Amino acid sequence: MEPPRTPALRNRVERLRQAYLAKLPATLVEARQGLGRLVADPLDDRALADLHRLFHNLKGTAASLGLPKISAEGAAGAETLKTLQGLAPSQRELASVLADLAGRIGYLEGLSGEETAVAPEPAPAPSATPVAARNAFDPQRRVVFLCDGDVDGEQLGSQLACFGYTFNSFTDPEALKAAVLADPPDAVVMSTAGTGIFDGVEGGLSIPVLFVSERQDFATRLKAVKAGGEAYFLKPVAAHEVVEILDTVTVRHEPDPLRVLVVDDEPEMAAYHALILEGAGMVARRLDDPARILDELGEFQPDLVLMDMYMPTCSGRDLSRVIRQIPQFVSLPIIFLSSETDKSLQVSAMRVGADGFLTKPIQPEDLVTAVAVRAERTRVLRSLMMRDSLTSLLNHTTLSQFLETSIAAAQRNGGQLCFAMLDVDHFKKVNDTYGHPVGDQVLVALSHLLKQRLRNSDMVGRYGGEEFAAILQNVSEDEAVRIVDNIRRDFAALTFKAGDTEFSCSFSGGVAGFPAMDGAESIVQAADQALYAAKHGGRNRIIGSAVAAAGLKEGV
């Protein structure tokens, strides 16, 4: 029989599934701890019962949430433990059973990524790199269906194409509906005139719908919201605004996992706490020699330091004083861990700049919460300091710092990288003709385009005014010129609206790379010269430093 699924139930189950998968790493950490208890004491019947229940719950809940692989492992693990429960303690052949369970937990940990096609990958893994590399410069085409009843749809489509979206236009809402049901696109952009066409679709529409309308009365807006609209745009629609929403609804932007440095002279404790944090999806690095703290901070760039209060070579308080003496780390949160329950000692620890004080032994979930809350806050603060407020690209200072560290890394690994400087052509004319708000739109559109078309490993910054810059990792100068030139072509194809008039913009760019240039200063200078050559050569073009230098020699 058909399950009596309504859209509301479907959404709710989907959310539950996501929540369940997000919680799975923590559940598996718990499973490993249970296993540890059994190893420590094979006669611990309570540990046995707890572990059995955990596997049994995996079996049932995962099955009812439609996650068969997880459920199967849970069932097998529960079965193994059940045979154990039936035996007298002396007869328990623990070794093989524990190996079997450890294997299942390990398999599940690996599976978290696979069975979660529906969910964000909970654990960050080194295997993420090839994925990023695969998408490099070949922006995954995302498909959007447009239905707007008039020619506007077609025009919006060509603009979306410049941002890497493939689009299909429909004039008839019924045709749109049929196409969506046959082969769902990544998103639908439609006129509010068609609100309601997806009502009554079995199982509801699971793809995001964006509405455009010339009406801004409350009733129309309410209808759009009720129809599941993710956004509502008034005509005339600015393509980059639609793109901003499309980007957020069609791409899962995986936030970088929080990074925690765990300082403890006891390697087992450090490993244990690191394991808990990793179980919650964070990246933890262990440090058992406090003397190396400054190197680690610089290299690992943690969002938070978790530190044992009492260590033989130096106390946590002294160590945090050392950290606080470096301006860059003044706001880095430090949490102390100690079995100290004396409040006055805790207070004195706070006085030297600790942000929290946790008492050992700590519950895994308490540790995760305490760390996550503070680390997230640093993230936000840091991002506010590092980014340009209009475009939210990196600011000049930050990008320059990244250039230095990227070159140092490339020097170490024998890699290559490029630096591109871009400048919007005749931008002053845009501002003077149409006003600054329109000029800002152009800058925001370009920043979107750059963010979207460059890889995650690349860094994009607003260098100042109408000048942008990007660091492209692991590409030759020729490749970088080609990549930036593609972006240039698409940017030039965008039309901007200012009142009733439409206009287009272009940008020029210069590219220089390491190892051809060997320091940050010389790369920036070479890119700047190449940019100058591009401007001089007639604008709306990208020139590499090699070509620019050759041209200079020939006096062209």
Binding positions for another protein, rule: CB under 8 A: 1-6, 8-9, 12-13, 16, 19-20, 23, 49-50, 53, 56-57, 59-61, 63-66, 68, 71, 74-75, 78
Instruction: Output the smallest distance, CB 63 to another protein, in A.
Output: 4
Contact (CB, 8 A) for 340 and 360: no
Q: What is the SS3 assignment for 59-97?
A: HHHHHHCCCHHHHHHHHHHHHHHHHHHCCCHHHCCHHHH
Instruction: Output the smallest distance, CB 205 to another protein, in A.
Output: 17
Contacts of residue 349, Cβ cutoff 8 Å, sequence gap at least 6: 309, 316, 317, 336, 357
Instruction: Output the smallest distance, CB 527 to another protein, in A.
Output: 52
Give whichever of 108 and 210 is closer to another protein, judged by the CB atom.
108
Instruction: Output the smallest distance, CB 3 to another protein, in A.
Output: 4
Give whichever of 111 and 352 is closer to another protein, judged by the CB atom.
111
CA 345 to chain centre: 39
3-state SS class at 357? strand
The long-range contacts involving 518-526, CB below 8 angstroms and separated by at least 24 positions, are 519/407, 520/400, 520/403, 520/404, 520/407, 523/403, 523/407, 523/419, 524/400, 524/403, 524/419, 524/421
Give whichever of 115 and 425 is closer to another protein, judged by the CB atom.
115
Give whichever of 17 and 240 is closer to another protein, judged by the CB atom.
17
- Rounded to whole angstroms, the Cα distance separating 377 from 385 reads 13
Give whichever of 71 and 416 is closer to another protein, judged by the CB atom.
71
Rg (CA), the chain: 28
CB-facing half-sphere around the CA of 208: CA atoms within 13 A:
18
Nearest C-alpha neighbor of 306 from the set 367, 366, 364, 255: 367
Instruction: Output the smallest distance, CB 278 to another protein, in A.
Output: 22
Instruction: Output the smallest distance, CB 224 to another protein, in A.
Output: 24
Give whichever of 9 and 385 is closer to another protein, judged by the CB atom.
9
Beta bridge partners of 103: none
Contacts of residue 252, Cβ cutoff 8 Å, sequence gap at least 6: 120
Question: Cis ω on the peptide bond leading into residue 515 (within 30° of 0)?
Answer: yes
Give whichever of 61 and 457 is closer to another protein, judged by the CB atom.
61
Give whichever of 54 and 530 is closer to another protein, judged by the CB atom.
54
Contact (CB, 8 A) for 143 and 165: yes
- Rounded to whole angstroms, the Cα distance separating 341 from 347 reads 11
Give whichever of 53 and 141 is closer to another protein, judged by the CB atom.
53
Instruction: Output the smallest distance, CB 117 to another protein, in A.
Output: 16
3-state SS class at 202? coil
DSSP 186: S
Q: Which amino acid is at 491?
A: F
Give whichever of 19 and 225 is closer to another protein, judged by the CB atom.
19
Give whichever of 33 and 406 is closer to another protein, judged by the CB atom.
33
Instruction: Output the smallest distance, CB 280 to another protein, in A.
Output: 16
3-state SS class at 122? coil
Name the one residue in this structure whose structure tokens are 């929403």: 245
- Rounded to whole angstroms, the Cα distance separating 159 from 163 reads 7
Beta bridge partners of 508: 423
Instruction: Output the smallest distance, CB 68 to another protein, in A.
Output: 7
CA angle 543, 545, 548 (to 5 degrees): 70
Instruction: Output the smallest distance, CB 523 to another protein, in A.
Output: 52
- Rounded to whole angstroms, the Cα distance separating 501 from 392 reads 28
Instruction: Output the smallest distance, CB 109 to another protein, in A.
Output: 19
